[in-house]
Structure 1
Amino acid sequence: FLAGLLLDAARFPLLYNLLASLLKVGILVGYLRFIGRLPEIKRFFMYHGAEHKAIHAFEKGLPLTVENVMAQPRFHPRCGTTFLAFVIVVSVLVYSLIPAPQVLWWRLLARVLFLPVVAALAFELLYFSARHEDPLSRLLRELGFRFQALTVAEPTPEMAEVAIRSAEAALGKRVVA
């Protein structure tokens, strides 16, 4: 809405989508920073970090012990938070290619119809960047990690233990002797 007050979407689709996305990202970042200070949410973000650490240890083939889990990085290249960041970036590009009709319901319908395309492209970017070491992949991962810094905190050893038990439940087996 605010972007529409500043720019004509039909005449400047790329700038409009860029401005609209920057406003959305600004609101989202502000919201995440605010709620991240609440004790319950901070604790939730710490469990998110424990989950990432447990996944790293599992993917490296390490025994899932508290020591091994706590030694892993808290950011993960295939995190849902990174996916969200990629959805935002891809949506700017995709929606900029779609002519912006003046009728609001038509513009909303176009966005809904193209959402699967945006999500699919973002998903492919996520997996591509996680599996390659070229400069573009490293840049994409860094973007994702910076966004994850809003939703992932360093866990306690007790939280790592919970993440280990959760991994075992998800795998249907005990992964530590």
Structure 2
Amino acid sequence: MKVGGQAVIEGVLMLGSRVSMAVRNKNGEIVLEDLSQSSVTTKRLFKVPLLRGFVSLYFSLYFGIKALNRSAEISSGETAKKSDLFWTTLFAFGLAIGLFVMLPMWITGLFGILRKNEVLFAIVEGGLRLTFFVLYVWIISLFPDVRRLFQYHGAEHMVINAYESNEQLDLDNVKKYGTIHPRCGTSFIMIFLIFSVVVLSLASPIASKSFAWRLLSRLVLLPLTAGFAYELLRVSSKSPTLFKFLFYPGLFFQKLTTAQPDDSQLEVAIAALKRVLPDLAKEEGPEYFG
């Protein structure tokens, strides 16, 4: 079966036969917790082309935010207030919209010649959005806490690479594999950002020159753009030779978003993956919560 995952604070979230995460607490113990007892990919919406891309993005964000908040509690041993979690999440979404949607639009609009050509406007805006995103990730990668998160991201990729190569999931086998994976969400984001330029260019005949209408059109076209990007990623993963060029931006960008993990981080990722595999989920292991 196909599995996927995300890095969380001092741990890894995995999606397979169920949605689970493994987090190392402040006592050094690995804590396993189920966020869903079943696989979200069995839902009917995941079978509908184009729509499944946005649905996949929604569930990734939903479980990702939930796992990040819960992993922070487990790793620190402190319970966060729900109000604090709400405002933190709201701030994160506001920052994303402001930095990667509104700011590129505003800067592009400062150039008079671009305001008269919606196709050119979309190309320049998309280039700025991609540049801002890469710079943002590069800057936060310099912080030690984020760097540690990227190590867990690398650990997640290494264990999935080992699993997909039919290796037994132990440290020695997993350490043979790299931190790069073609189906990473990073590749999806890069394809999404690049393809958004195409979508907005094609939609230019119905675009208006007002800032409010442009912003609305970007938000409305978000599900469609995510759907096309997801389908491209699916096709390219099945025909890696023919669509190899689609992988290059994401694979290159993963050099920033992943880092080489240590053994203790790999142990956490292995525990998370075993938890979501039907044939391994019942093995004895650390204490389960949830």
User: 2:221 — aligned with what?
Assistant: 114
Q: How many residues align?
A: 175
User: Does 1 or 2 have the higher relative contact order (CA < 8 Å, sep 6+)?
Assistant: 1
Does structure 1 residue 144 correspond to structure 2 residue 250?
yes
After superposition, the Cα gap between the structure-2 partners of 1:71 and 1:7, relative to the gap in structure 1 and judged at 3 Å, is farther
Q: Helix, strand or coil for the counterpart of 1:75?
A: coil
After superposition, the Cα gap between the structure-2 partners of 1:173 and 1:70, relative to the gap in structure 1 and judged at 3 Å, is farther
- Conserved? CA contact 1:77–1:129, under 8 Å: no
Q: Helix, strand or coil for the counterpart of 2:256?
A: coil
Q: Tell me whether 76-85 or 26-35 shows the greater mean CA deviation.
A: 26-35
- Conserved? CA contact 1:14–1:93, under 8 Å: no
After superposition, the Cα gap between the structure-2 partners of 1:148 and 1:83, relative to the gap in structure 1 and judged at 3 Å, is same
Pairwise CA distance, 1:63: 0.7
Q: Tell me whether 74-83 or 124-133 shows the greater mean CA deviation.
A: 124-133
**Structure 1, residues 44-64: CA drift from partner, whole Å, max 9, x if none?**
001000000111111121111
User: 1:154 — aligned with what?
Assistant: 260
| Structure 1, unaligned runs of 5 or more | none
After superposition, the Cα gap between the structure-2 partners of 1:173 and 1:54, relative to the gap in structure 1 and judged at 3 Å, is farther
- Conserved? CA contact 2:130–2:194, under 8 Å: no
Match runs of 1:19-168 below 5 Å: 19-99=124-204, 100-135=207-242, 137-168=243-274
- TM-score, with normalisation over the residues of structure 1? 0.90
Separation of aligned partners in 2, 1:130 and 1:75 = 14
Pairwise CA distance, 1:102: 1.9
| Higher share in helix | 1
Q: RMSD between aligned alpha carbons?
A: 2.0
- Conserved? CA contact 2:188–2:250, under 8 Å: yes
Q: Tell me whether 29-38 or 99-108 shows the greater mean CA deviation.
A: 99-108
Pairwise CA distance, 1:77: 0.8
**Structure 1, residues 24-52: CA drift from partner, whole Å, max 9, x if none?**
22222112111111111111001000000
Separation of aligned partners in 2, 1:150 and 1:15 = 29
| Structure 2, unaligned runs of 5 or more | 1-105, 285-290
- Conserved? CA contact 1:10–1:101, under 8 Å: no
| Higher share in strand | 2
